[in-house]
Structure 1
């Protein structure tokens, strides 16, 4: 499955548009992770804890969009966009949304 942010796939022709597909993941940040990230914020540097959580959420959302496209009979997804949001009263939840157009190519 080709997953790309571009509207075209070099060397391939889009022969059928299967429709929009989405992958959504909402992940909670627990107290321990929040505390460790707060230390990075206080002392400076990157927060490996949040980065790992973000990478895992993004990978899960991309896997979800890929499964949904395959279920439609697509072999590629074009025009992929990734969006990140913080949710909840104390921004304790992270949402990653991936969207694109499922297509069949030749």
Structure 2
């Protein structure tokens, strides 16, 4: 599956637009990560636990979007965008969306 944040896939011709596809996941913080984050706030540095959590969340949301595109016959997704939102205390949603297309 080709995924592009552009409105096209360079070197490919779009044969058919299939419509909007999306994927999301909601994740909560882990108490152990919160303790380490608190220490990092004092001493500085990357919050690696949160970095890993967000990377896992993005990967899962993309996989869900890809499955939706495949289900409607797409072999590429263009104009991909990400969004995040807080849905509850300590929990956030990662949302990804784009347009499923068929390319040659």
Give the alignment's TM-score, normalised by structure 2. Answer: 0.95
Question: For this pair of structures, how many residues does the alignment match?
Answer: 104
Pairwise CA distance, 1:94: 1.7
* Equivalent runs, 1:1-106 vs 2, <5 Å: 1-88=1-88, 90=89, 92-106=90-104
For structure 2, the residue ranges without an aligned partner over 5 or more in a row are none
Q: Deviations over 1:6-26 (max 9, x none)?
A: 001111111111110010100
Pairwise CA distance, 1:32: 1.4
Partners of 2:76 and 2:40 lie apart in 1 by: 39
Q: Deviations over 1:30-71 (max 9, x none)?
A: 211111112112211110000000000000001110111001
For structure 1, the residue ranges without an aligned partner over 5 or more in a row are none
Give the alignment's TM-score, normalised by structure 1. Answer: 0.93
Moved over 4 A (4+): none
Q: Deviations over 1:52-93 (max 9, x none)?
A: 0000000000111011100110000000001122331x3x00
